Structure formats: C-alpha cells, structure tokens
Amino acid sequence: MKELILGGARSGKSHYAEVCASESGLNVLYVATAQALDDEMQQRIKHHQRQRPAHWQLIEEPLDLVSVLKNNANEKTCILVDCLTLWLSNQLCSEEHKNDLQKNVDDLVNTLPGLAGKIIFVSNEISMGIIPMGELNRQFVDEAGRLHQRLAAICDNVTLMVAGIPGHIKGKK
C-alpha cells in the first residue's frame, strides 16, 4: 500500500500521516528529509521529534531516499517519509545532486511499485498559489507538481489535508 498525503503549511498532514502509520499495526520507520541548517528549522525538527513515538525507528536522509526505501521496505514495516518537498528542495540546492534531479525522481517513481510494505509520503501542496518570482522558485513549484502527479498516479491512496481534515482524493479510507 502506497499513500501520498498532501497539504499546505500547518494543514495537519504530518500528524495525519503519523496516525496512519500508528494504525497500520506495523513497525514504523520514519524517514526525515529535513536538514537543520538554521535555528528555525532546528525548532521545527525538535517539534516533529516530540510528536513521534519514541519506539519508532528513525533514518535522517536528505538526499538518497531511494536507497533508504530499497534497503528498508518489507511487509512488516510502514515507512513514513516526511517530507518529499524538502527532499526535492535538497536535490535542487545540492551542487552535487541538482543535475541528477530528473534521474532521482525517475528512480523514486520507478522503484516505488516494486517495494513491499506500506509507504506513506508527506508533501506540501504548493501549486494552489500564485506563480512565484525567481527562476529557482518556479523550478521548485514545477518539479514538485510533476512529482506529485507521478506519485499520485501510482499510489493507492491520495489525501489532501485542509485545516486538519483529510480529504480523500484517491482510494478508500
């Protein structure tokens, strides 16, 4: 079972994903893609850490998401990836990886259907606003939209969070 949970900032998407992971009855592996590059992000990370059950396994991986999924997906595990937009941003801002963005997205999309177990992706829905100024910002919005479309096509469930309320876009809950 593959699930994509989208929503705006503070929409409740991470909390909802954590509830889904807990209710799966499986061992939970939390894959965090954030990097604590400034004080504000450090505080966000600490907040998320306090929200998660202590017995969940954690892997912090800002770039090589596909390897983490390949090495850990199994029938007894629910992998919760939070979040894809940070992973995408990390790709775009990494001098080493930005030229491999399309390959890395293709690898994720092509690998996902063959993975066992439950995988939940959390991502920011950012395509409902104005077209951003700046080339990098527009590229980010375009790439996030393309990634979401491709994942939504292969995920069993797609949920859009608004004000803490899940709207089930695809699949059944």
Residues recognised as catalytic: 48
Which residue matches tokens 């983490």? 68
Burial profile 46-73: b = 16 or more Cβ within 10 angstroms, e = fewer: eebeeebeeeeeeeebbbebbebbeebb
From first CA to last CA, the distance across the chain in angstroms is 12
Bond into 83 cis (ω within 30): yes
DSSP track, 77-104: EEEEEE-HHHHHHHHHH-TTTGGGHHHH
Contact 112, 152 (CB under 8 A): no
Alpha helix (H) ranges present in 24-160?
39-51, 65-72, 84-93, 101-111, 135-154
